[in-house]
Structure 1
Amino acid sequence: MNDSDKGQNPSAGVDLARAALAAARARARELEQNRPLRGAAARRAGAQKRSGSRADDRDPQTLQATIGRLMAEHGWETPVAVGGVVHNWAEVVGERIAEHCAPVSFDEGVLTIQADSSAWAVEMRNLSPQLTSRLNESLPRTAEGGAVKRINVLGPARPRMGFGGFR
């Protein structure tokens, strides 16, 4: 039987086998290069960090430390602190003010509070510089200074009007 009888070229089969072997060897080299080093080779290469008696970031972390790190990474310290002030509003501003004024929102350094009467709204507008100072004493400092830059005072909620502004 000759080559023409088989319908194939024997040199083409050999070339195909050589190409497949070369591709397999290249893939093996690629896998070997990406494989993490182990044992003495890793220590020589400095690729593997060994655990020691000193604390490092691979040690178990407390929930408090993890939450603190997350707050710092995402810039949540001030909003969380303001939330604490809102929660303890009566302790921070005093019972008398807390009976008549409540915090509504805090956004970009502006604390909005709502008074239950027009008289208390005027009083809070007059007291806002002192209240801002008192609030900033209980809050962490920001890069720009105090966390609360300004206090916006809303008066009592107006009654809702019906259709066309008439009742």
Structure 2
Amino acid sequence: MSTGSFTPEGEPLKGSDLARAALEAAKASAKARGRVPGSKSKGRPVNRRRRRWSGPGPDDRDPQPLGRIASRIAADRGWVEQLQGGQVFGRWAKLVGEEVAEHAKPIALSDGELTVQASSTAWATQLRLLQRDLLKRIAAGVGNGVVKRLKIKGPDAPSWRHGPRHAPGRGPRDTYG
């Protein structure tokens, strides 16, 4: 014989009586575990406020464009200045123009000072003359305050200083002919 529910007369329950008895048993079990019968919360406080739909207007729960989310993350983590500095390097040719970008490249950006290396001393002089215009173009492209000053360097020359000590002078020259 099965171990089901029985009526007081000893007959097995059928149909809706069986379902009602199972429901009562489940409610008693839930009450014993400390849960309120009829609530759908799983150990969380019950929020009786009715959920409101977002409606036709924008809402925080709506899907967001990836760029907006990335901007929010960058602002929250304090990366905005580094990203703006990276834009100077990434968009250099568009910011200063193709001709200038062909003869000059940005090397470093720290504390608002952009170090630019020219391909020749003539271009270094030209960049020093164009410095004010270049700063305006960069500010228009990436924002004010990202680049405050330009430090313009000429082409790299080989260094003849080897070791901790050296003798003053111009270094080795062509003395063989």
With structure 1 as the length reference, what TM-score do the two structures score? 0.60
SS at match of 2:142: coil
Equivalent-residue separation in structure 2 for 1:74 and 1:112 (angstroms): 26
Q: Which residue of 2 aligns with 1:149?
A: 148
Bigger Rg over Cα: 2
The secondary structure found in structure 1 opposite 2:44 is: coil
SS of residue paired to 1:36? coil
Separation of aligned partners in 1, 2:52 and 2:158: 67
Q: 1:134 aligns with which of 126, 133, 137?
A: 137
**Does the aligned pair in 2 maintain the 1:101–1:114 contact within 8 Å?**
yes
Query: What is the distance in 1 between the residues matched to 2:61 and 2:117?
Result: 48
* Structure 1: runs of 5+ lacking an equivalent: 1-27, 29-34
Q: 1:36 aligns with which of 32, 39, 44?
A: 44
Question: Residue 54 of structure 2 corresponds to which residue in structure 1?
Answer: 53
Alpha-carbon distance in structure 1 between the residues aligned to 2:138 and 2:99:
16
| Aligned match of 2:94 | 91
Which residue of structure 2 lines up, in the alignment, with residue 107 of structure 1? 110
Task: Report the Cα distance in structure 1 between the residues aligned to 2:68 and 2:93, rounded to whole angstroms.
Answer: 29
Distance in 2 between the 1:161 and 1:84 partners?
Answer: 36
Could you tell me which of 79, 84, 102 is aligned with 2:82? 79
| Shift in CA distance, 64/94, structure 1 to aligned 2, threshold 3 Å | closer
Q: Which residue of 2 aligns with 1:121?
A: 124
Shift of 1:93: 1.4
- CA distance, structure 2, for counterparts of residue 148 and residue 102 of structure 1: 15
Distance 1:74 1:154 in 2: 33
Q: Partner letter of residue 146 of structure 2? A: A
Q: Is the deviation greater in 76-85 or in 103-112?
A: 76-85
Report which structure shows greater RCO (CA 8 Å, sep ≥6). Answer: 1
The CA distance in 1 between the partners of 2:132 and 2:98, in whole Å, is 19
- Greater percentage in helix: 1
Q: Tell whether the 8 Å contact from 1:78 to 1:140 is kept in structure 2 after alignment.
A: no
Q: Return the alpha-carbon distance in structure 2 between the equivalents of residues 158 and 51 of structure 1.
A: 69
Identity between Structure 1 and Structure 2 (%): 37
Query: Equivalents in 2 of 1:162, 1:84: separation in Å?
Result: 36
CA RMSD between the two structures: 2.7
Native 8 Å contact 1:103 1:114 kept in 2: yes
